[in-house]
Chain A
Amino acid sequence: MASQQQDTGSTGAYLIRGASVLGGAAEDLLIRDGLIAARGEDLEADGATVIDGRGLIALPGMVDIHTHLREPGREDAETVETGTRAAALGGYTAVHAMANSTPVADTAGVVEQVLSLGRAAGWVDVRPVGAVTVGLAGEQLAELGAMADSRARVRVFSDDGVCVSDPVLMRRALEYVKAFDGVVAQHAQEPRLTAGAQMNEGVVSAVLGLTGWPAVAEESIIARDVLLAQHVGSRLHVCHVSTAGSVEIVRWAKSRGINVTAEVTPHHLWLTDELVRSYDPVYKVNPPLRTDADVQALRAALADGTIDVVGTDHAPHPSEHKECEWAQAAMGMTGLETALSVVQHTMIDTGLMDWAGFARVTSTTPAAIGRLADQGRPLEPGEPANVILVDPAARWTVDPSKMATMGRNSPFAGRELPGKVVATFFKGHPTVLNGELNTPYRWLPETADSEETAAAGRP
């Protein structure tokens, strides 16, 4: 376990002793002035706070491509402050905040507000996602360019929660974001095929008498969208792929050279619709939990690169939205604080993936999709010090009441999970130490060209 061997506040420099970098050989990492200053064996502490990294794995800070922080508008469910505390504890150094807030993040003003809230909190880099259409209404393009040019420099656009189902609108969005190297992240759900849908349509829904959400409603949209992306030569990201059929379509599209990336949530890598038999709405989520065959296909696809990234789709809800009838309950699950453990359990402990692969799907690739220059970088000297230390041998039991997120809707409540984040360094500053929140990073007061100077802010 990591232990502080010196007074933390004094230097802003940290020497991690003997951590396994990406699961490889044990090395030392020296963090100073927001950067990785050195990597190697037996580095000089030189006044730095020494952290014992033996038995721990050093990884690049995780980047969530899909987070709901709820603020502005639903501060009873989550705030940027609470959501990013959860993110830091979960090993994240950047999160993409989805646009379905109130008001919707469909203007430069709202995305800049979210950006500012994130910086004020200081736990991770909060990257606002812009809405594709005004008010998520699916009728008229939002001012994508204004959001791209804003201080938030939005590159990911999504109506997540709602599908951009109009094929013409989707085509235009894909074309338009090419102007600023943006990407459209599609929530693939054919609305007419899923009217009133409550759970995966199949054997279990037939027995439970809950309206089915058929796999074809996801797959048909993905098939259409990859063809549109090919046709207009744009970049498409598919949110929370949940079915074996979707995997096949994405695999086919990639084999044709179509510029598509795909995401899977931790819960779809593990849980199945059998859990719905309890009628406990903690298992209600969109897209719904599928079958074990889907789970296995998703794991294989993440391992072989067909699915590029893990996105949490962290969706906190106040308890009254889950303490009710299934049909009345809100869809969504929390995920930031359990993602690492669930991916370790489903992908690494099963032998499907190693820690280098973990870094690829949770950090490097999501940072690349979001065009985040200083995230998902190699752990090499000179790189920004977004680093986490993970104890893969730790085991812990999920207790939602002890989480930093305001949401208590974890489907993993009561389960024992492997792997625990011991420390999170965000821009060289430890936001998490000894598995507990430390202090937030303090951004410098913003200036006109704050992006670059802020990176060198006070550690």
Chain B
Amino acid sequence: MKHLLATEDLGYADAIRILDTAEEMAAVGDREVKKLPALRGRTVVNLFFEDSTRTRISFEAAAKRLSADVINFAAKGSSVSKGESLKDTAQTLAAMGADAVVIRHWASGAPHRLATTDWIDAAVINAGDGTHEHPTQALLDAFTMRRHWSKLAGTPSAGADLQGMRVAIAGDVLHSRVARSNVWLLRTLGAKVTLVAPPTLLPVGVEQWPCTISYDLDETLARGVDAIMMLRVQGERMNASFFPSTREYSRRWGFDDNRLRSLERLGLKDTIIMHPGPMNRGLEISSAAADSPRSTVLAQVRNGVSIRMAALYLLLSGDTREPATNSTKESH
């Protein structure tokens, strides 16, 4: 694998390899020297066409912990916003010797364009494209779920998958790259996914996805879930008639205090509450739910750095030259 563009085509073995590598990377964060020399001399460019401080600093921390040189290129407000094309930007980065481009773009498919054209030959990591995919978010979510699921089973998480885990993803699926990436990855890892949303916020064609669809959050909870992931909902969607009002939305599809209490009543004592952030407290999730011991919101942020270290390491450390002459020589 030269790029990380989507989870839709990420195979089981590659997914497990990333998660397992992230486990080792996580250990580095607990050490006195929180740095590894693995990517010394490599240049990672964070190319952001859309503001996302959280994702950018997560990738930046990951690259720096691996000793890579990091260049942050906020394309907003630069020459790019004055009409410079993606092609010219990519060729500029190539000329500067970028080894990897971490790209966040408002247009679905922009990372694919970088990866499939000859504009630049660096490794491309999709840090969220339009309403398409956000693979590292899904990987960090899966990492968080796997640790929880393995702990419940009393087995080590390394090498494990999510076989049998019931995951509900609730909210604005239509506009969510996080939901898409999670659906594909969780399927690959063996979890059972239910998408919960108002019908207006589900894409036409969703019935072909490898998951169950529900319009009813309470019914979904009642059937039992091991993880409930709430998606961010933008209040402005109300203006485009996706739902009548934010109050009605949060009553029907928000994870409010009543639903938090209902987990106890339903005997779901181990169910975790996830959110990719940033949260709209009071809209899709109540403060009590976000701050409860079930919430993994901060663990997700922490795990994000480990996952991104793993992705950068696995994409950048290998032999990037022509296929090696079968020398698998180990230098003892």
Contacts and interface: CB of A to CB of B under 8 A. Distances in A.
A and B: bona fide binding partners: yes
Interface of A: 198, 201-210, 212, 214, 278-280, 320, 323-328
A214 B205 contact: no
21 contacts: A202-B205, A204-B205, A205-B203, A207-B205, A208-B109, A208-B132, A209-B132, A209-B180, A210-B109, A210-B131, A212-B204, A278-B112, A278-B116, A279-B112, A279-B113, A279-B116, A280-B116, A324-B86, A325-B86, A326-B110, A327-B108
B108 A210 contact: yes
Interface string B83-112: 001110000000000000000011111101
Closest 3 CB pairs of A and B: A279-B109, A206-B205, A209-B132
Contact of A206 (B86, B87, B209): B209
Contacts of A280: 116
A265 to B, nearest CB: 24
Nearest to B8: A207
Nearest to A204: B205
Contacts of A324: 85-87, 113
Contacts of B204: 201-202, 205-206, 212, 214
A205 B180 contact: no
A203 B108 contact: no
Contacts of B109: 208, 210, 279, 325-327
A209 B131 contact: yes
Contacts of A205: 203-205
A427 to B, nearest CB: 44
A206 B85 contact: no
A207 B107 contact: no
B178 to A, nearest CB: 11
A206 B107 contact: no
Contacts of B117: 323
Interface in B164-206: 177, 180, 203-206
Contacts of B328: none
Nearest to A198: B108
Interface of B: 8, 85-87, 105-110, 112-113, 116-117, 129-133, 177, 180, 203-206, 208-209
Contacts of A325: 86, 105, 107, 109-110, 113
Contacts of B132: 208-210
Contacts of B113: 279, 324-326
Contacts of A204: 205
Contact of B180 (A202, A207, A278, A279): A207
A413 to B, nearest CB: 14
Nearest to A279: B109
Nearest to B119: A323
B76 to A, nearest CB: 15
Contacts of A208: 108-109, 132
A203 B86 contact: no
Given A320-B85, A325-B113, A206 B108 contact: no
A203 B133 contact: no
Nearest to B111: A279
A323 B87 contact: yes
A326 B205 contact: no
A203 B205 contact: yes
Contacts of B205: 201-207
B289 to A, nearest CB: 27
Given A203-B208, A279-B113, A326-B113, 8 more contacts: A202-B204, A206-B203, A209-B129, A210-B109, A214-B204, A279-B116, A325-B105, A326-B109
Nearest to A203: B205
B208 to A, nearest CB: 5
A214 B209 CA distance: 19
A323 B130 contact: no
A290 to B, nearest CB: 13
Contacts of A279: 108-109, 112-113, 116
Contacts of B203: 205-206, 212
A323 B119 CA distance: 10
Contacts of B107: 325-328
A209 B130 contact: yes
Contacts of A201: 204-205
A208 B109 CA distance: 8
A200 to B, nearest CB: 10
B210 to A, nearest CB: 11
Nearest to B206: A206
Contact of A209 (B87, B177, B208): B177
A202 B180 CA distance: 15
A208 B87 CA distance: 21
Nearest to B202: A206
B162 to A, nearest CB: 21
A26 B117 CA distance: 49
A169 B109 CA distance: 38
A210 B177 CA distance: 11
Contacts of A202: 204-205
